[in-house]
Amino acid sequence: MKKATQLIHAGRSKEWTGSAVNPPVVRASTIVFDTMAELKHATAHRGDRVPYYGRRGTATHFALQDAICDLEGSAGCALYPCGAAAINAALLSFLKQGDHLLMVDTAYEPTRAICDKLLAGLGIETSYYDPLIGAGISALIKANTKVIFLESPGSLTMELQDIPAISAVAKAHNIVLMLDNTWGTPVLQDAYALGVDICIQSATKYIVGHSDAMLGIATANEKHWPQLREHSYLMGYCASADDAYLASRGLRTLKVRLAQHEANALKVAKWLQQRPEVETVRHPALPENPGYDLFQRDFSGSNGLFSFVLKQGDAKAVAAFIEGMEHFKMGFSWGGYESLIIPNLSIQKLRTASSWPYTGPLIRLHIGLEDTEDLIADLTAAFERFHQAL
């Protein structure tokens, strides 16, 4: 099936939905059994799609997990209360005291915090690497390197990584390769075809798509699924049936929403490229973006998230730019139907292994589903306020 058709039908087995179109919301902690035989069967198959205990999941969770596995081609799917929990669980499932982790230097800021605060305290060493390193990552491998973590494109600055090249190095050294594929989703980037072992997403973003639920997802190939599944369960991770339901519902419109986000964002990005105040626009689908050739090879499209760098501007001017917005709302996260804006005055402070060539402030945009003429008018007014504050 084509991806658009998969999105409509995945996870809609009658085993989970009955005669309804959508899976019911099944909330449960205790699962009761009528016979010892039923209890024994459930216990023996508690890692499978068999109701055992609420933390293992209900039909609502199983429907979403099946859908994600169908869409990605993964062996299994674990659900978490948020994206950061999915990242944390994946890392802790495959790292222990004395191990070494290679983490991309452009990772999501909470991912860095996990490495620098939590993992470091557990005796796990992290080395950060340049996102454009490709096969050169082999020079950073140590005898105790157990995991390489990618995020492509990178948070805020949007560099693309050569996943197949890094995958070849990881496989040669028996290292687990993880990818935060929140930007790509199962629609835009085929993580497993590129050689990833563990694929992680903040389903809070585009999968839910309406800024009203928190959910994390981590999937794995056949080799690594049993360990990810059991360790995540042992750490106590689970997700609510209500949030799983909202994610299943969001999946049905994911492709059409992404297409509109993409069209809107490219219009705004190309408009920003013409603004004299803008030093550069960091959008994976633009030829000027680092790794654009990899975007053309690995992605089937783009979405609404990108950033741009101003040539100049202090905190006062950036505040004037952002605070008077009519349609862009200031807030963290992205992937909903609404447009968002957030500033970063110093990218270099978030990096330790790669350089950032610009000195001006960076502004990240998520372009929502509003009319682009209204969004461009909002940004035009923002530039006027910006000049007045300089």
| Residues labelled catalytic | 55, 108, 180, 205
Dist CA 138 CA 114 (whole Å): 24
Tell how strand 216-220 and strand 76-80 pair up: antiparallel
Query: Residues 283, 154: contact at Cβ < 8 Å?
Result: no
- Angle at alpha carbon of residue 362, lines to 356 and 363, rounded to 5°: 150
Q: 176-208 burial, b if ≥16 CB within 10 A, otherwise e?
A: bbbbbbbbbbbbbbbbbebbbbbbbbbbbbbbb
Q: 304-339 burial, b if ≥16 CB within 10 A, otherwise e?
A: bbbbbbbeebeeebbebbbeebebbeeeeebbbebb
Dist CA 372 CA 267 (whole Å): 7
Classify residue 189 by its DSSP letter.
B
Dist CA 146 CA 75 (whole Å): 21
CB-CB neighbours of 274 under 10 Å:
8
Q: How many residues does the chain have?
A: 390
Sequence-distant (6+) residues with CB within 8 A of 334 are 205, 304, 305, 340, 366
Burial of 63 (0-12, 13-18, 19+ CB in 10 A): buried
The residue behind tokens 């390197």 is 145
Dist CA 263 CA 265 (whole Å): 6
Tell how strand 305-310 and strand 100-104 pair up: unpaired
Query: Residues 66, 23: contact at Cβ < 8 Å?
Result: no
Residue type, 123: G
Q: How far is CA 138 from the centre of its chain?
A: 25
Residues 186, 55, 20, 32, Cα dihedral to 10°:
160
CB-CB neighbours of 44 under 10 Å:
11
